[in-house]
Chains A and B, each alone.
Chain A
């Protein structure tokens, strides 16, 4: 007959590096999908349409539908 004991050590600590990385992911993703108007991805915009008419800012157009669906302000 075998008997098994288990000791579990729990910790309430949260690794700071993990928090920093996740905060970075949060800021980058929410800004890119929810708020970018060509500030970060302006290089995808042809020279004549920087920040201007919808249809020219390709990065914006690419994540456009999700921005609307998630309720962020958009055109």
Chain B
């Protein structure tokens, strides 16, 4: 669409089509992240310190939202269309994946450490401190997004707020939904025998 003459009616139809795509892509992305969330919850449920499955699901959703969205967004925040340079897309994708992977796999490794550690109170401090140290190092060691922002900064900031709000709402609803469904379906109970 760079510099082309646009027919406004055609463009309008195109945008309607593209917005349908956003719903479809949102469904696919939601299914994907939901799959990951389900796997992690199934394996970690017994170690999450909370009294009910609903609370456990919310706590896990909060941790994963922080590790997989907030932390990467602090280093490589979302940008509206036209900010990114098509020439640097593979480089930017590699940076984003690398930072996301450092955050995700550090958290995963630390989750195993958390489960192994005996000191119940101390580990609640030690584990987050190790994570913070790893991510602070990666934050300063990794290169920034190479693209210059040429769009007005208030537009970019509003976009980032909207993106953050959307993804936060997604993670929150994901946690609530999984918690409610887990209690309803109880998939960890392999057999229930009723005797009268």
Contact = CB atoms under 8 A, between A and B. Distances in A.
Interface string B23-42: 01110110111011011001
A8 B189 CA distance: 7
Contacts of A37: 89-90
Task: Give the interface size bracket for B toward A.
Answer: 35 or more
B38 A33 contact: no
28 contacts: A4-B195, A5-B195, A6-B194, A7-B192, A11-B188, A14-B42, A19-B39, A19-B42, A28-B32, A29-B32, A33-B25, A35-B93, A53-B2, A53-B86, A63-B24, A64-B22, A65-B25, A66-B26, A67-B25, A69-B162, A69-B167, A70-B78, A71-B78, A71-B163, A72-B93, A73-B95, A74-B79, A74-B89
A65 B159 CA distance: 12
Interface of A: 2-14, 19, 22-23, 25-30, 32-35, 37, 53-55, 61-75
